[in-house]
Amino acid sequence: MSTRVQELFDLAGHVALVTGGSRGLGLQVAEALGDAGAQLVLTSRKASDLQEACRYLAARNISASWIAGDAADPIQLTRIASEAMSLHGRVDVLVNNAGATWGAPAEEYPIEAWDKVMNLNLRSVFLLSQYVAGHSMIPRGQGRIIMVASIASSIGMMSGLEAVAYYASKGGLANLTRALAAEWGKHGITVNAVAPGWFPSKMSHGTIQAVGADAMAAQIPLRRLGGDDDLKGAALLFASRAGQHITGQVLAVDGGYTAVGR
């Protein structure tokens, strides 16, 4: 017999580790997984932000713990993953959301900026996925990995924003998604990415202010920026049994921005 659709989206008994989970898109994804029943482990650099996020989630009756650390540092990254495993014995769902950007013309782009963006947006994602897959998912023959990419993975410039390392890192993240999906499918692991368009966040704040929210929305077929609930459905699909036969995909959640030729 087939399974009732509500059961397919149920994450009760699952453990989800969310990087950059204390605010913005990471917290939105965490909230969706927690509402579906997952036990959350949030990580980001600042303990105060994590504590605030956990208080917010607790008010929604979502169980969440936190581990502070810099995901760009491989030593701290290993500690984060190890502590998450120690807390619950496993990680069922890994959400790689932490990221950074740096704006500058390509001909003037400083090497330290390139390394900062690449180390967090791409290298740390691979290292954490490698650790969690190797220590939890592959031995158990199942797992869900969700990348938070960007529509920058498929276009060369967004609204005049010069940020070459960001575009390169998100393009690499999209293909890392496909490569890991191809290798780890035999272990029962799905690897997919959500690619948000323009959402208000700390990272996008400067660009939205410079361009103007109304002018930016006018470039989007749905005529609005992303909102507080707009990543939840895609994230829950990829995290749950509802998406168990989907892997290696990059799903744009952008109001149709990438559907329009520019």
Bridge partners, residue 194, by sequence? 148, 251
Whether 109 sits among the annotated catalytic residues: the reply is no
- Residue 16 within a domain: yes
Cβ(195)–Cβ(174) below 8 Å: yes
Residue 209 lies in a domain: yes
- Into how many domains does the chain fold? 1
What pLDDT is recorded for position 54? 98
Q: How many CA atoms lie within 13 A of 52 on its CB side?
A: 9
Domain assignment present for 88: yes
Look at residue 261 and tell me if it is in a domain. Answer: no
- Structural domain boundaries enclosing 75: 5-253
Per-residue tokens: 37: 């029943």
Residue 130 lies in a domain: yes
Q: Is residue 238 part of a domain?
A: yes
Q: Is the dihedral of CA 215, 217, 221, 222 positive or negative?
A: negative
Task: Tell me the DSSP string of the chain.
Answer: -PPPHHHHT--TT-EEEEETTTSHHHHHHHHHHHHTTPEEEEEES-HHHHHHHHHHHHTTT--EEEEE--TTSHHHHHHHHHHHHHHHS--SEEEE-------B-GGG--HHHHHHHHIIIIIHHHHHHHHHIIIIIHHHT-EEEEEE--GGGT-S-BTTB-BHHHHHHHHHHHHHHHHHHHHHGGGTEEEEEEEE-S--STTTHHHHHHH-HHHHHHTSTTSS---TTTTHHHHHHHHSGGGTT--S-EEEESTTGGGS--
* Tally of CB atoms within 10 A around 144: 26
Q: Specify if 260 maps to a domain.
A: no
pLDDT tens digits for the chain (262 residues)?
A: 799 999 999 999 999 999 999 999 999 999 999 999 999 999 999 999 999 999 999 999 999 999 999 999 999 999 999 999 999 999 999 999 999 999 999 999 999 999 999 999 999 999 999 999 999 999 999 999 999 999 999 887 776 778 899 999 999 999 999 999 999 999 999 999 999 998 887 777 777 787 788 888 898 999 999 999 999 999 999 999 999 999 999 999 999 999 986 5
For residue 202, the model assigns a pLDDT of 74
Q: Is residue 105 part of a domain?
A: yes
Q: Cβ(203)–Cβ(101) under 8 Å?
A: yes
Q: Are the CB atoms for 114 and 37 separated by under 8 Å?
A: no
Give the number of residues written for the chain.
262
Catalytic hit among 56, 109, 131, 166: 166
CATH code of 206's domain: 3.40.50.720
Q: Please state whether the predicted TM-score (pTM) of the whole model is above 0.85.
A: yes
Phi, psi of 41 (to 5 degrees): -125, 115
